[in-house]
């Protein structure tokens, strides 16, 4: 262990290795910095694209709102996004230090850009650490290829790009200080104490990084042992301080991990930290079972950086702390490879190179084989997951972004704004901002703007909930429709003095067809709202589609209100599997009629859920339960068709004419 720990040290006074000047390593080092510079430019451009397309979501709003308010003199901002004073969100005080930067650009894009700079700077520190390590331990040729391997493990890791793509987070903003602290501690430099301040400022979660790095210092050797022990005590003390001042009011440790303390996984009320520890100690198999269930994600987080890095003493404790803290949270939200595991992606490559440095003079062939395997597997992870980045994070079409830009410019700064969570980020530079997350009550007060994008962005609310709210705003709530188009609906509403909150209907109401999409239809929004509808343009195709519900398998009745002077098809599709479930041809109607037909929604897997391929697998949060069930109205063209609404309701009792097995059919 002591020999392996010394492989991470890079003291300058140990003399030159046998190869002398390391000309090849110097070239690798220069090329590496150029590559990292190019990566930074790519990240900056990518962040600008995401921001310009409104592809910044709820998490971005959670940080942009307080950052904006602090910069404007609100030194104790209340987060309407999270429902608490912002400082109680894990005691993340770093935004106060960053607030003056707002006035340089006056743009929310600054936060993602700061994140990009922090990540690439952390990679540069890690790469420098690797180069110094191999310079002291290896001959020129070996040092050069090991340095190149370290660079590859950093820049090819797809999870680093995933981390910078997902809004803005404190863990990513402080990662450069985390890596600087680990490097300085490994060298026994007192400067390591300085980096603790910004790491603590990033929140209680990053305080655990100090504990992990300190434990690594204790294991790494005599030079860092005392300093590491001090860091462990300081990290634990700060974490306790955050608990005592209720700085963890939103994400307290007992609330997050309380399910581990009792069999069955039900968190006890008023569970204390001591009670949590005692409960876990009494039921250790529950903890082990959770880790075993998430083994795919644990491997996915570690593997691109080279699993060997887990064997380096300076890195091992931090990796254990990060993975345990995230994987033991209920569900897969924090276990999945994303920003919360950023220390793993940057520091495991350092440990991998350290282990290879130790192994190379002892078992050269084995070291070469393991190095080749590490390079092959990071390229495999990049090939499997890299191409998915644009489709995963850039889900707002350019026309929708243009419409949102126009809406954003029209909203007064003093207004309350309710926005679909998939595009909420850029609207959060105000005191009162709320996300549309589903059928959850939202406080309202005074002039309120509601901006809804049912199908654009990474949405938490179902399409049915969003469309039902559009219908409710235009109808019984008497809000003013300001603009619509390209999938964006914006309303201006002054609620009555007696109205204190609004509850989205949750898709349990008929959906307005005029708010849906269409290839052969146009919305008619003249006159009373009760007469609004989607009218056929006269061309062949769907007069109305996109009327969608997220429902479990079972029997349902699809009910469509329409008028047609010629034949028209009413169809029900399972969009999860692109399967036609039912179709009814209506020759014509006498005015507006209700067309109802029974449909069986099957229990089928979500074909869009992506888990990777072969050994390159990761488990992410599962899609919402149920099937995406859609009602469409199709016209052969040349006839007048008006579609008013659609409704999908559970069927009760026997229904005549129940359809048989569903059949697959191509889209027209």
**3-class DSSP state for residue 541?**
strand
Contact 516, 546 (CB under 8 A): yes
Burial classification of residue 270, based on how many CB atoms lie within 10 Å of its CB (0-12 exposed, 13-18 middle, 19 or more buried): exposed
Give the tens place of pLDDT for each residue, 470-506: 999 999 999 999 999 999 999 999 999 899 999 998 7
H-run or E-run covering 135: helix 110-137
pLDDT reported for residue 508: 72
Rounded to whole angstroms, the Cα distance separating 156 from 113 reads 20
Average pLDDT over residues 402-412: 96
DSSP codes joined into one string, 558-571: EEEEEEESS-EEEE
Among 632, 626, 648, smallest CA distance to 550 is for 626
pLDDT reported for residue 663: 32
pLDDT reported for residue 668: 30
Q: Residue 114 above 80 pLDDT? A: yes
Q: Residue 451 above 90 pLDDT? A: yes
Give the tens place of pLDDT for each residue, 419-438: 999 999 999 999 999 999 98
pLDDT reported for residue 218: 94
**Residues 6 or more apart in contact with residue 438 via CB below 8 angstroms:** 460, 461, 462, 465, 504, 506
Give the tens place of pLDDT for each residue, 184-207: 999 999 999 999 999 999 988 889
Contact 562, 589 (CB under 8 A): yes
Q: Residue 19 above 60 pLDDT? A: no
- Compute φ and ψ for 521, nearest 5 degrees: -145, 160
Q: Residue 261 above 90 pLDDT? A: no
| Domains in the chain with CATH codes | 2-54+107-388 (no CATH), 398-509 (no CATH), 512-650 (2.60.120.260)
pLDDT reported for residue 610: 78
Chain mean pLDDT for the chain = 89
Q: Output 438 or 263, whichever has higher pLDDT.
A: 438
Please state the separation of Cα 55 from the chain's center in Å: 11
Least confident of 87-101, 179-193, 626-640, 652-666: 652-666
Percent above pLDDT 90 for the chain: 71
pLDDT reported for residue 18: 44
Rounded to whole angstroms, the Cα distance separating 248 from 243 reads 6
Rounded to whole angstroms, the Cα distance separating 203 from 68 reads 19
Average pLDDT over residues 14-35: 75
Please state the separation of Cα 457 from the chain's center in Å: 12
Instruction: Give the side-chain half-sphere CA count within 13 A for 486.
Output: 13
Question: Which pLDDT band, with edges at 50, 70 and 90, does 222 fall under?
Answer: confident
Least confident of 44-58, 109-123, 545-559: 545-559
Average pLDDT over residues 48-61: 96
Among 46, 47, 45, 92, smallest CA distance to 65 is for 92
Q: Residue 550 above 50 pLDDT? A: yes
**Whole-number Cα distances in Å, 573 to 269, 313, 465:** 44, 55, 18
pLDDT reported for residue 384: 95
Q: Residue 138 above 60 pLDDT? A: yes
Token pair, residue 248, equals: 């963890």
Contact 464, 511 (CB under 8 A): yes
Indicate the pTM of the whole model: 0.91
Question: Which pLDDT band, with edges at 50, 70 and 90, does 7 fall under?
Answer: low
Average pLDDT over residues 23-35: 94
**CB environment 360-396: b (16+ within 10 A), e (fewer):** beeeeeebeebbeebbebbebbbebbeeeeeeebbbb
H-run or E-run covering 645: strand 641-650
pLDDT reported for residue 614: 85
Q: Residue 659 above 50 pLDDT? A: no
- Compute φ and ψ for 16, nearest 5 degrees: -80, 145
pLDDT reported for residue 262: 73
Give the tens place of pLDDT for each residue, 531-540: 999 999 999 9
Question: Which pLDDT band, with edges at 50, 70 and 90, does 402 fall under?
Answer: very high
pLDDT reported for residue 20: 46
Q: Output 400 or 626, whichever has higher pLDDT.
A: 400
Average pLDDT over residues 69-93: 93
Least confident of 235-249, 350-364, 520-534, 630-644: 235-249
Contact 536, 526 (CB under 8 A): no
Question: Which pLDDT band, with edges at 50, 70 and 90, does 2 fall under?
Answer: low
Burial classification of residue 446, based on how many CB atoms lie within 10 Å of its CB (0-12 exposed, 13-18 middle, 19 or more buried): exposed
Among 89, 26, 64, smallest CA distance to 425 is for 64
């Amino acid at each position: 262990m002591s020999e392996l720990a010394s492989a991470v040290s890079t003291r300058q006074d140990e003399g030159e290795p046998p190869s002398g000047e390391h000309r090849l390593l110097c070239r690798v080092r220069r090329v590496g910095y150029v590559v990292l510079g190019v990566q930074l430019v790519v990240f900056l451009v990518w962040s600008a694209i995401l921001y310009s397309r409104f592809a910044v979501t709820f998490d971005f709003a959670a940080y942009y709102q307080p950052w904006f308010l602090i910069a404007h003199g609100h030194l104790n901002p209340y987060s309407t996004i999270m429902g608490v004073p912002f400082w109680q969100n894990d005691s993340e005080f770093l935004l106060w230090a960053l607030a003056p930067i707002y006035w340089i650009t006056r743009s929310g894009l600054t936060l993602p850009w700061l994140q990009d700079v922090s990540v690439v700077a952390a990679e540069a520190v890690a790469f420098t650490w690797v180069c110094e390590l191999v310079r002291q331990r290896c001959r020129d040729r070996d040092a050069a290829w090991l340095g190149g391997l370290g660079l590859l493990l950093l820049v090819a890791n797809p999870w680093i790009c995933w981390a910078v793509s997902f809004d803005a987070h404190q863990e990513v903003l402080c990662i450069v200080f985390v890596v600087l602290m680990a490097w300085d501690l490994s060298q026994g430099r007192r400067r390591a104490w300085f980096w603790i301040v910004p790491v603590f400022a990033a929140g209680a979660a990053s305080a655990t990084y100090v504990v992990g790095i300190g434990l690594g210092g204790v294991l790494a050797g005599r030079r860092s042992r005392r300093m590491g022990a001090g860091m462990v005590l300081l990290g634990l003390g700060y974490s306790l301080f955050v608990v005592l001042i209720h700085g963890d009011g939103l994400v307290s440790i007992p609330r997050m991990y309380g399910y581990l303390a009792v069999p069955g996984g039900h968190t006890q009320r008023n569970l204390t930290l001591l009670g949590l520890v005692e409960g876990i100690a009494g039921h250790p198999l529950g903890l082990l079972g959770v880790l075993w269930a998430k083994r795919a994600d644990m491997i996915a987080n570690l593997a691109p950086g080279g699993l060997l890095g887990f064997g380096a003493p300076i890195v091992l404790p931090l990796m254990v702390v990060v993975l345990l803290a995230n994987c033991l949270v209920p569900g897969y939200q924090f276990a999945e490879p994303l920003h919360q595991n950023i220390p793993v992606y940057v520091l495991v490559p350092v440990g991998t190179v350290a282990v290879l440095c130790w192994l190379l003079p002892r078992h050269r062939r084995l070291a070469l084989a393991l190095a080749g395997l590490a390079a092959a597997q990071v390229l495999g992870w990049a090939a499997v997951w890299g191409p998915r980045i644009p489709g995963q994070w850039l889900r707002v079409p350019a026309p929708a972004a243009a419409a949102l830009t126009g809406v954003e410019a029209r909203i007064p700064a003093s207004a309350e704004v309710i926005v679909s969570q998939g595009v909420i980020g850029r609207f959060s530079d105000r005191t009162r901002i709320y996300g549309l997350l589903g059928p959850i009550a939202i406080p309202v007060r005074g002039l309120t703007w509601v901006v809804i994008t049912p199908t654009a962005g990474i949405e938490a609310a179902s399409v049915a909930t969003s469309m039902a709210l559009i219908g409710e705003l235009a109808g019984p709530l008497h809000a003013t429709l300001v603009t619509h188009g390209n999938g964006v609906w914006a309303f201006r509403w002054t609620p009555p003095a007696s109205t204190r909150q609004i509850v989205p209907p949750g898709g349990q109401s008929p959906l307005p067809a005029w708010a849906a999409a269409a290839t052969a239809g146009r919305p008619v929004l003249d006159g009373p709202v009760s007469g609004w509808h989607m009218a056929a343009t006269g061309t062949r195709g769907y007069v109305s589609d996109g009327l969608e519900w997220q429902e479990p398998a079972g029997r349902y009745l699809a009910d469509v209100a329409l008028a047609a002077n010629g034949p028209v098809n009413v169809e029900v599709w399972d969009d999860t599997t692109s399967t036609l479930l039912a179709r009814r041809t209506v020759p014509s109607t006498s005015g507006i009629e209700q067309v109802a037909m029974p449909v069986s929604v099957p229990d089928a897997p979500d074909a869009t859920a992506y888990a990777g391929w072969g050994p390159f697998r990761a488990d992410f949060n599962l899609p919402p339960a149920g099937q995406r069930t859609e009602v469409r109205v199709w016209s052969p063209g040349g006839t007048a068709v008006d579609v008013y609404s659609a409704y999908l309701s559970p069927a009760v009792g026997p229904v005549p004419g129940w359809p048989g097995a569903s059949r697959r059919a191509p889209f027209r």
